[in-house]
Structure formats: structure tokens, C-alpha cells
Amino acid sequence: MTKTKGDRPRVVTLRVSAVIEETADARSLVFDLPDDDRFAYRPGQFLTLRIPGGPTGAVARCYSLASSPDTGEPPKVTVKRTVGGYGSNWLCDNIAVGDTVDVLPPLGTFTPASLDTDLLLWAAGSGITPVMSILRSALVRAEGRVVLYYANRDQESVIFADELRELADRYPDRLTVTHWLESLQGLPTGARLAEFAASYREYESFVCGPGPFMTAVTTALAGAGWPRDRVTTEVFTSLSGDPFAAPEPIAAAESADAARVEVELDGEVHALAWPRSRTLVDVLLADGIDVPYSCREGECGSCACTVVDGEVGMDNTGVLDQEDIDAGYTLACQARPRTDTIRIRF
């Protein structure tokens, strides 16, 4: 088990307390709430699960929390089978009540800065999972309106259908749910998406689903003049490595060619040697510092930080666009030093 500062395990082992069959190809795993203050999460965040027995050993996969942190319910992730997807099929075929799963604490940036705003939520297929968490928290904690546009292949594919119906009945003045079924209406076009969005120009948009759906929605919103800072998207990719594995100890030869870095994290400043062969996440973990990370492949944004002084390079810019990079943002799991002294702020 990976250890962190203060000898606290970063990996959390959760017990499965319930398995819910949502549709023919999707199931939810409900976990006992751990007695761990680091497990507090925000609506829309995800867990990284360790799944045993992959082609090259254990694999890691990210699954969004469908539960709301504001309703007192236990944490729940929803997994939909994907063709050829080892992780999703293993979880759907093997996990039972009483089993335990190793996870990394909740992370992710697909979460509103504030729920005190009107929300336009877009989901397709299992993309409803983090959207459902945001929707339910907004209805419980805030007073704004919530509009959900939810696309699926057919009626049998709609995850959380009954719960959405109940919420719409409970909050008729605040929640509007629009279902789009490909079997009846075909694929949603950019023109139809833009037409739908036109009534909600002052709302903040969150988009999650398959790549073509998210591209269609974001393109439609951009064409309609939607401000970029009011559109948030969520993207998951299959991880090739094992983010649960501890980094190799830093050898003396590596330290001989090291930059000096000051890292501000959780109100503390850490001064470290940063070997040019190592990423910042590896260096922090090797020193026992509990740095936020999930995929360690540059694809989730959980380790995003700001370069205050100095310069770093990144192997994979991943979820960052050029505007983010120009503003000084970097991914700690991809960053390596380019200058002799660097200051970083999380």
C-alpha cells in the first residue's frame, strides 16, 4: 500500500455494500462510507479504482461518483460496459456485495465552483453519472434552476430513469429534463443542440458523454456565442499505467543533476531537489508528500498546478489547452524542470 506524509495511506480500501443493476449494461457499486477525512468530495468528481487481473497485472480505471456529497448517502460509482473494455466488464461480471476495492481519494475538476447559479447539464449514455451528482447537489443545496439534456440510444438505455422522473416531480419549478432518444429522433444535430441551448444563454454548462456528443455540444455552444469559461467538459481515457504504484526511489546519480523547487501545497511550502529525469508528482511522492493526482498520465487534470517562477516542460499536455499553458498551468505528473530554480503552487 502506498504511504504518504504522516504514514497515512493514500490508497483507500472500500467495501461494496450494494450492487444496483441500472440497465442491462450498467450497474452501480455502492460503498460503505470510509472513516477518512480525505474522502470528502465535490459533486462531479471521480474515483480511480484498481482492477485486478488485467493483461499485464492490475489496471486502473476512473469512474465518476453518481452520488451526491450533500444528501448523506454513501458513495456510489456507476459502471457501463464498453465493448472490449477490460475494466468495465470485469467490474460488471465479478464485483459482489462484501467485496473490497482499492481506490484513490476523490478528485476531478468537473465540478461547479458554486452551485448558486443556473445550470445547463448535457449528458449522453453513462456521461449522466457525474452530471447526476451535480444535479442532485444543486437541487438540495441551492435555489437555482437546473436543465438536463440527456441523450441515449433508446429508452432501455436510460440510466437513472426512475430517479430523474422522481426528481422532476419533486422539483417541478426548478428541474427540467429533456430526453433525446436516437431510436426515435436520430442523432442530435448541431443545429438542434444550439436551438435547445438558446433559451438558457445565462446558464453555466457542463458536458459529459462520448467524444462525438461532447464535440457536437461544445461546437454548438461556441457557435451560439457561449463564453468559454461557462462550458466545462469531462473526458476520461483508459489508463495504460498503474497510478497506485509507488515511484522508484530517487538514486544519488539523479539527484546530482537536480533543480531546486519550492512547492506550496495545502498551506505548506516544501523545498526539494527535483531531478530532471523525474516528474513533479514522482518527486513529491518519493518525499512522502500527499500530492493530488489520479491518472499520472496527463489525462485527468487532478494534479494541475501553477508555475509561479521558473520553467517546466511537459511530456503530455493532456487536458490543458494553450490558453491554460500560457496562464502558467502545468500538470505535475508530466512536468520536468527546465530551469535551475522553480516555484510551484497547487
Cell of 316: 503530455
Q: Report the pLDDT value the prediction gives residue 58, as an integer from 0 to 100.
A: 81
* 102 lies in the same domain as 129: no
Q: 215: which DSSP letter?
A: H
CA distances from 142 to 60, 119, 137, 165 (A): 34, 11, 8, 20
Indicate whether 244 belongs to any domain: no
Do residues 218 and 276 share a domain? no
Listing from the earlier edge strand, what are the strands of the sheet with 341-345?
268-275, 258-265, 341-345, 304-309, 329-331
* Residues 205-234 pLDDT 10s: 999 999 999 999 999 999 988 888 899 999
CB-CB contact of 78 with 126 (8 Å): yes
Q: Domain containing 171 — which CATH number?
A: 3.40.50.80
Q: Per-residue pLDDT averaged across 56-79, rounded?
A: 91
Say if residue 223 is in the same domain as residue 263.
Answer: no
The verdict on residue 123 lying in a domain is: yes
Q: In this predicted structure, what is the pLDDT of residue 241?
A: 65
Residue 229 falls within a domain, yes or no?
A: yes
β strands within the chain, DSSP E: 3-4, 8-9, 12-23, 26-31, 46-54, 57-64, 76-80, 100-107, 119-124, 146-152, 175-181, 204-208, 231-234, 258-265, 268-275, 304-309, 312-314, 329-331, 335-337, 341-345
The CB density around residue 112, as the number of other CB atoms within 10 Å, is: 18
Q: What is the CATH number of the domain that holds 309?
A: 3.10.20.30
Tell me the average pLDDT of the chain: 89
Please say which residue of 106, 131, 146 terminates a domain: 106
Residue 255's pLDDT band (cuts 50, 70, 90): confident
pLDDT of residue 1: 25
State the Cα angle at 130 between 281 and 114, rounded to 5°: 80
Domain-embedded: residue 154:
yes
7, 82: one domain? yes
Same-domain pairing of 174 and 127:
yes
- Rounded CA-CA distance 252/255 in Å is 5
* pLDDT winner (highest mean) among 228-237, 248-257, 295-304: 228-237
Residues 338 and 259 in one domain: yes
Q: Which amino acid is at 225?
A: G
* C-alpha distances out from residue 126 to 46, 77, 86, 152, 333, Å: 13, 11, 17, 9, 27
Residue 246 covered by a domain:
no
Residue-level pLDDT at 109: 86
Terminal C-alpha separation, the chain: 25
Q: How high is the pLDDT of residue 8?
A: 36
320 lies in some domain: yes
Q: What is the pLDDT of residue 238?
A: 59
189 plus 273 within the same structural domain: no
168 shares its domain with 139: yes
What proportion of the chain, given as a percentage, has pLDDT over 70?
Answer: 94
Mark 146-175 as b/e (b = at least 16 C-beta within 10 Å).
bbbbbbbeeeebbbbbeebeebeeebeebb
Task: Give the integer Cα–Cα distance in Å for 90 and 237.
Answer: 17
CB proximity list for 48: less than 8 A, separation 6 or greater: 60, 61, 62, 103, 104, 107, 239, 243, 244, 294, 295
Contact 153, 128 (CB under 8 A): no
Residue range of the domain that includes 145: 119-234
Q: What is the mean pLDDT of residues 300-326?
A: 86
Q: Are residues 9 and 92 in the same domain?
A: yes
- 241 part of a folded domain: no
Provide the pLDDT confidence category of residue 4 given band limits of 50, 70 and 90: very low
The last residue of one of the domains, among 178, 208, 234, is 234
Stretch 161-168: mean pLDDT, rounded? 97
Residues 311 and 208 both lie in one domain: no
59 and 146 fall within a common domain = no
The per-residue pLDDT for range 109-119, each reduced to its tens digit, is: 899 999 999 99
Size (the chain), residues: 346
Residue 6 in this model has a pLDDT that exceeds 60 = no
Q: Is the CB of residue 146 less than 8 Å from the CB of residue 119?
A: yes
Task: Judge whether residue 23 has pLDDT over 90.
Answer: yes
131 and 216 in a single domain? The answer is yes
pLDDT digits (tens, 9 = 90+) for 237-252: 656 667 777 677 787 7
- In 3D space, the residue among 203, 307, 257, 236 whose CA is nearest the CA of residue 65 turns out to be 236
- Could you tell me the three cell numbers for 151? 441523450
Mean pLDDT check: name the lowest of 89-93, 245-249, 340-344. Answer: 245-249
Q: Show which of 66, 81, 106 is a domain's final residue.
A: 106
Total domain count for the chain?
Answer: 3
Higher pLDDT, 252 or 140: 140
Q: Judge whether 58 and 52 are in contact, CB under 8 Å.
A: yes
Residue 5 has pLDDT above 90, yes or no: no
Asked if residue 135 belongs to a domain, the reply is: yes
